[in-house]
Structure 1
Amino acid sequence: MPASAGDGAVPPGGRQPDSPTAPGPAAPPPPTAASGPEASAPAGEARGLWTDAWHDLRRNPVFVVSALLILFLLVIALWPGLIAGQDPQRCELGRSLQGPSAGHWFGFDTQGCDVYTRTVYGARASIAVGVCATLGVAVLGTVVGGLAGFFGGFWDGLLSRLTDVFFGIPMVLGAIVFLSMVTLTGIWPVVVVIAALSWPQIARIARGAVLTAKEHDYVQAARALGAGTPRVLLRHILPNAIAPVIVMATIMLGTFIALEATLSYLGVGLKPPSVSWGVDISAASDGMQFRNAPHILFYPAAALSVTVLAFIMLGDAVRDALDPKLR
């Protein structure tokens, strides 16, 4: 009697047919798309410090607002005629201390000069002093501090003692003494004095960053492969030690703008006929004039405060992005 399929007989060919209800091996799950920040980066590529910093800065509203404000200030410092069509030196004594009016939004100062025009043109000198002094401080401090940290020994001791000497000079007092002996006018004496008295702080930061960077494995590997001192400094140490210098320089830029206004207010910085916020604040500091026409002091002081605050906010945002310990 022929066996039926239910009797468990093996059909011709010797292979038991698969049961329709028997569970088979589990299929591997389909690959899923990457999500998050890694999705936009190529596979196997790690983001560096600067990429991470830019990724954070773009999403920081403090950075966006301060950067846009600084961009606007830089534009009016370079091309003030775009929003102020008058000559800041053109004054009419007959309009002395007149208040705001149509066509003269900020009124007139003691000499009958348009306060709005002078406030706009004052951004050029104040921001130029801050930017040039910051560049000088960053370069000088990075060179001195970087060399001290890299070579160590005698050079570290010598440069560190030189830094201590400049640290012992009070900033405002030293600037007043030096500028009182200078007969030159313009922004450059102020820039040189600020840079000469402010570089030690950057030098200390650069020295510490270089001391940390030169102990890393990639520096030792570069030395083992025969890289010379200039190449090790410029290609391996400097790019990895410059972040704290940039952070401090950004914050100091706003401080230098305020320092220029302080020195101009005291009569040793920029002097008339130079147009700057410090000069206008000094001219408006008479108590009687301020009570009769507060606008002559309010607008240049407000422009100075907003500018300094914008640079300090930008520095804080950059510091938070570049300092891994603050993340």
Structure 2
Amino acid sequence: MDRKKERIDALAASGGSASTALLDSEDAKSGGGSIIADAWRRLRVSPVFWVGAIIVLLFLLLAIFADLIAPHDPGQLLLRSQTRLSRNQLAPPQPGFPLGGDLLGRDEFSRLVLGSRQTLLVGVFATAIGLAGGMILGTLAGAFGGVVDTVVMRVVDVMLSIPGLLLAISIAALFTTPSQWSVIIAVAVVQIPVFARLLRGQMLAQRGTDHVLAARALGVRRAPIVFRHMLPNSMSPVIVQATVVVAVSIIDAAALSFLGLGSQDVATPEWGQMLGEAQQKIDSYPALAFWPAGCIVVVALGFTLLGESLREALDPKNRR
């Protein structure tokens, strides 16, 4: 029995199909390697991948070392004396304050730098929660099928029929006290059906593979088949999708904060919140909106380029 289980595990590790084994043997004859090595050979010559990777890396470093980079406390009114809203006057850029001050006389550059950390936290946590919820629903639908699959997919279809941003706004509005966590939960719920449908499709494809059929023929229980063979072989597209979803989560979170449904703590900056505050003087000082909006666009672009590059590199249709 142990020897048979080892053979099943070997089939699972190779992808579980004769066609995959044939492709691997052909790659070996032609000097190829594993799927990961083959994907890396395409990624390292892809300018799109490197642009996305550099943007994401710089964003991560900025968020991690924000306390060291920001020259001032983002909540202190250091330029208050130069701010005259009644006269439509804000503190201009000056030594020590490269972007000048905001509507309350706070250092705009420091708030922009510290805001990257809040944006990263919202994007990562929302994606992680959405991924966890989607994995639960997708695994149930793909593993059991039948009535369970029908019920889960109908719930997913209902959620997907509602525009994502509208659903996020509706969920965030249910919280009596808007906060960063209300934004995270609202954005995460929107992403759950995306991951659920993707994982369910991958699980259904795995149900007909050789290693799953062999395990069933040997009488292996459903749980080991799902968690040892089907689920691990279905996760690659889901993980790649998570990279793209981070960009969507950042944009949705910024939209909720812009609408006033995010954190109300003005001492803790967030790019969407800064964009909302800038609307009061956007006609006279468009730079107040340009900087946070530009950061949101660039970071979302970086994650999108990185995710799309990974998706193309790991696509078996692109293997040569």
TM-score, length basis structure 1: 0.81
Cα distance in structure 1, aligned partners of 2:226 and 2:38: 24
Q: Name the structure 2 match of 1:180.
A: 173
Query: Are the equivalent residues in 1 in contact too, given 2:274–2:292 (CA < 8 A)?
Result: yes
Query: Are the equivalent residues in 1 in contact too, given 2:179–2:261 (CA < 8 A)?
Result: no
Query: Are the equivalent residues in 2 in contact too, given 1:263–1:278 (CA < 8 A)?
Result: yes
**Which SS does the other structure have where 1:98 is aligned?**
coil
Q: Name the structure 1 match of 2:73.
A: 87
The AA in structure 1 aligned to 2:306 is L
> Where does the alignment leave 5 or more consecutive residues of structure 2 unmatched?
1-23, 84-89
Cα distance in structure 1, aligned partners of 2:193 and 2:34: 29
The AA in structure 1 aligned to 2:40 is W
Query: Are the equivalent residues in 1 in contact too, given 2:169–2:186 (CA < 8 A)?
Result: no
Cα distance in structure 2, aligned partners of 1:58 and 1:307: 21
Report whether the alignment pairs 1:66 with 2:58.
no
C-alpha distance after superposition, 1:85-143 (max 9, x if no partner)? 31110113223322222221111111111111011011111111111111111121122
Report whether the alignment pairs 1:304 with 2:290.
no
Cα distance in structure 1, aligned partners of 2:93 and 2:227: 55
C-alpha distance after superposition, 1:159-215 (max 9, x if no partner)? 111112222333222322332231344321111111122211211111111111121
Query: Are the equivalent residues in 1 in contact too, given 2:178–2:261 (CA < 8 A)?
Result: no
The AA in structure 2 aligned to 1:78 is I
Q: Name the structure 1 match of 2:19.
A: none
Q: Name the structure 2 match of 1:277.
A: 271
RMSD: 2.3
Cα distance in structure 2, aligned partners of 1:320 and 1:215: 24
**Which SS does the other structure have where 1:100 is aligned?**
coil
Determine which structure has more spread, i.e. the larger CA radius of gyration. Answer: 1
Corresponding residue pairs, total: 286
TM-score, length basis structure 2: 0.82
The AA in structure 2 aligned to 1:320 is E
C-alpha distance after superposition, 1:51-100 (max 9, x if no partner)? 32233223322222322221221122122022113111011322332222
Report which stretch shifted further, 193-202 or 176-185: 176-185
Q: Name the structure 2 match of 1:171.
A: 164
Report whether the alignment pairs 1:190 with 2:183.
yes
The AA in structure 1 aligned to 2:251 is A
**Which SS does the other structure have where 1:105 is aligned?**
coil
Identity of aligned residues (%): 37
**1:240-279 alignment to 2 at 5 Å?**
240-273=233-266, 274-279=268-273
The AA in structure 2 aligned to 1:82 is L
Cα distance in structure 2, aligned partners of 1:103 and 1:170: 44
Cα distance in structure 2, aligned partners of 1:299 and 1:325: 40
> Where does the alignment leave 5 or more consecutive residues of structure 1 unmatched?
1-37
Q: Name the structure 1 match of 2:39.
A: 53
Cα distance in structure 1, aligned partners of 2:233 and 2:214: 15
Q: 1:164 to 1:269 in 2, by over 3 A?
A: same
Counterpart pick for 1:122 among 112, 115, 126: 115
Deviation at 1:265, TM superposition (A): 0.8
Cα distance in structure 1, aligned partners of 2:192 and 2:236: 16
**Which SS does the other structure have where 1:285 is aligned?**
helix
Q: Name the structure 1 match of 2:139.
A: 146
**Structure 1 or 2: larger helix share?**
2
Deviation at 1:45, TM superposition (A): 10
Q: Name the structure 1 match of 2:207.
A: 214
Q: Name the structure 2 match of 1:133.
A: 126
Query: Are the equivalent residues in 2 in contact too, given 1:99–1:295 (CA < 8 A)?
Result: no
The AA in structure 2 aligned to 1:95 is Q
The AA in structure 1 aligned to 2:61 is V
Q: Name the structure 2 match of 1:156.
A: 149
Cα distance in structure 2, aligned partners of 1:315 and 1:84: 29
Q: Name the structure 1 match of 2:6.
A: none
Q: 1:234 to 1:59 in 2, by over 3 A?
A: farther
Cα distance in structure 2, aligned partners of 1:94 and 1:206: 56
Cα distance in structure 1, aligned partners of 2:30 and 2:219: 29
